Structure 1
Amino acid sequence: MNWMLRLQEKLWGIAPWDARQITDEWFRAHFEYASDVVHHWVGGVLDLPKARLLNFGCGDGITDLSLVLRHGATAIHGVDIRQEYAKLPRIAREQLGMSRIPAALTFETIAPGTPLAGRRPLVDGIMSWSTFEHVQRDQLLPILKDLHACLRPGGFFFIQIEPLFYSPYGSHLRRYDEVPWHHLLVSEDELWEIVRTHEGPIDAAETDFGFADFGPEGYKRFVFNEYRALNRLTADELVALTAEAGFHVVRQERRNVQMEIPAELHGKYPQDWLLNNEIFLLLGR
């Protein structure tokens, strides 16, 4: 099907789109903010219109779509263990008025831990947005080694994680619980009860396009299971694992929160773990 899209674009160009139609805050955040961050980090070291890119953990593909439409990317292959990207044609039609998705985008569903190296040509750049905190610990190093093998020598790999587990909202449950570090202060059963009994709307910017698939109560169970599966990776551990996989750090930025740490957590965890909310990591091969 991709060759048909390419033919359509050759004849008529990329389908028209209009960002003024955006009404969904999840879409806006990933179409604007996330895309601009990736472009800032990756566009500074790669020529995006000429680069072949891989998005590991592409989710719904909104950021990839924006990189094509707003930043000139021409070849992005997204992989994920879920098929949220299958919604992208509908989402782009609703939020941008687009009649078809650009041919520059291709997507693939993989089983967790599936090796990618050797299946496609080497890529110039890899990106991963808030994905590695969800990878099982015993799979972290094998996956990083596999991604290293997917990248051409001289290529770049950009990783972002937010929020990191030990930070105030590292549970990824803030849509239901606004108490900072609550996941480190109460039992799992108590935390689930807070989520289960939550009433009222949740922040529109935190409501992804999978929400409708589950319904309000099903979505609570889904995100809580996601919380339970978090690998509790720290920024230092991530950097060490990428080095072990063969990458070298080109640039990194760690963003900390300015909040008072609860007395109960003093001495229980390192302060830098508790305050480090986000990491941006640019790696080279």
Structure 2
Amino acid sequence: MGLIARLQERVLGIAPWDASQISDEWFRAHFEYAAEVVNQWIGGVMDIPRSRFLNFGCGDGITDLSLVLRYGATSIHGVDVRREYEKLPRIAREQLGMRRVPTALSFQTIKSGDSLSQGSAQYDGIMSWSTFEHVRRDQLSLILEDLHACLRPGGYFFIQIEPLYFSAYGSHLRRYDETPWHHLLATEDELWKVIEAHQGPIDPAEVDFGFADFGVEGYKRFVFNEYKALNRLTADELVAFAKSAGFNVAREERRSLDISPPDSLLAQYPRDWLTNNEIFLLLRKG
């Protein structure tokens, strides 16, 4: 944020906002639900208004905005390989009637595998929402070690992943395909044909603000390429990678969908891989 924006906010305060204006379901899910979950996990062990945070994989920055407006965060730096956060001023204006984004937020575009620690601990807390399933597997250790170096001693790192790859909708393609575990049952070509043939509307909660950049058919190809790039991380592997990077597990919760895997998949994969849909993981730097 520029000096003028900081001076303006110092004099006038954070721009007024009105959550009753929210009309977009993707915005609502990230402004309300995601921010509430982060607050429940981080707010119980940290003083959010007095802490400096890093959001690894910040996306469009909606959750960060909510943490500032609803929970008093005063410093969040979001990083991502895409530049969706550049849409945040427009999104905040359209969904909340905000004239300007709070100066507590800053954002940065990074390349996959970029070091963020710069040789010193900079943050009191780190968060990551549905990001680590997209990190290249051969970079997981280095990235977690770098994030460990970013964190001050005693700091916390909250990670959420949903859906996990081997779960019923772990392909991240449910907006186009409602068949559970289809990505484990069909060939890649068969799966693409289902996506390509999809007609009609998509669940509004699954349509992000990047949809318009691609168009209907382009977005299909984009999300399918994202599916093919998934690292297929399991919850156990995530915990193991985190511990190897030097983190201690402070709290963990795994959630499952109420749906039974087919026998053919149970013969190939452990049941907990197939049923574990989501993980919440709170890590601490000793």
Q: How would you bin the TM-score normalised by the shorter chain?
A: over 0.9
| Separation of aligned partners in 1, 2:249 and 2:256 | 20
Count the aligned residue pairs.
285
Match of 1:7 in 2: 7
Match of 1:156 in 2: 156
| C-alpha displacement of 1:241 | 0.3
| Separation of aligned partners in 2, 1:136 and 1:171 | 16
Please show how residues 183-198 of structure 1 align to structure 2 within 5 Å: 183-198=183-198
1:231-284 Cα offsets, whole Å, 9 max, x none, are 000000000000000000000000012212112212200000000000000000
Match of 1:35 in 2: 35
Match of 1:74 in 2: 74
| Separation of aligned partners in 2, 1:182 and 1:138 | 26
Please show how residues 235-274 of structure 1 align to structure 2 within 5 Å: 235-274=235-274
Match of 1:144 in 2: 144
Match of 1:87 in 2: 87
In structure 2, the residue corresponding to 1:277 is in which secondary structure? strand
| Separation of aligned partners in 2, 1:263 and 1:3 | 61
- TM-score (norm: length of structure 2): 0.98
| Separation of aligned partners in 2, 1:25 and 1:271 | 33
| Separation of aligned partners in 1, 2:69 and 2:117 | 28
| Separation of aligned partners in 2, 1:150 and 1:3 | 26
Match of 1:206 in 2: 206
- TM-score (norm: length of structure 1): 0.99
| C-alpha displacement of 1:119 | 7.0
Match of 1:174 in 2: 174
Please show how residues 212-223 of structure 1 align to structure 2 within 5 Å: 212-223=212-223
| C-alpha displacement of 1:3 | 2.7
| C-alpha displacement of 1:152 | 0.1
Question: After TM superposition, which residue ranges in structure 1, 4 or more long, deviate above 6 angstroms?
Answer: none
In structure 2, the residue corresponding to 1:149 is in which secondary structure? helix
1:14-59 Cα offsets, whole Å, 9 max, x none, are 0000000000000000000000000000011110110000000000
Higher alpha-carbon deviation: 127-136 or 255-264? 255-264
| C-alpha displacement of 1:162 | 0.1
Match of 1:228 in 2: 228
Amino acid at match of 1:39: N
| Separation of aligned partners in 2, 1:22 and 1:6 | 26
| C-alpha displacement of 1:121 | 5.8
Amino acid at match of 1:208: D
| Separation of aligned partners in 2, 1:142 and 1:120 | 16
Distance 1:182-1:49 versus aligned 2 partners, 3 A rule:
same
In structure 2, the residue corresponding to 1:49 is in which secondary structure? helix
Match of 1:276 in 2: 276
Amino acid at match of 1:60: D
1:212-244 Cα offsets, whole Å, 9 max, x none, are 000000000000000000000000000000000
| C-alpha displacement of 1:6 | 1.7
1:96 aligns with 2:96: yes
| Separation of aligned partners in 2, 1:52 and 1:191 | 43
Match of 2:49 in 1: 49
| Separation of aligned partners in 1, 2:119 and 2:17 | 33
Please show how residues 101-112 of structure 1 align to structure 2 within 5 Å: 101-112=101-112
1:55-110 Cα offsets, whole Å, 9 max, x none, are 00000000000000000000000000000000000000000000000000000000
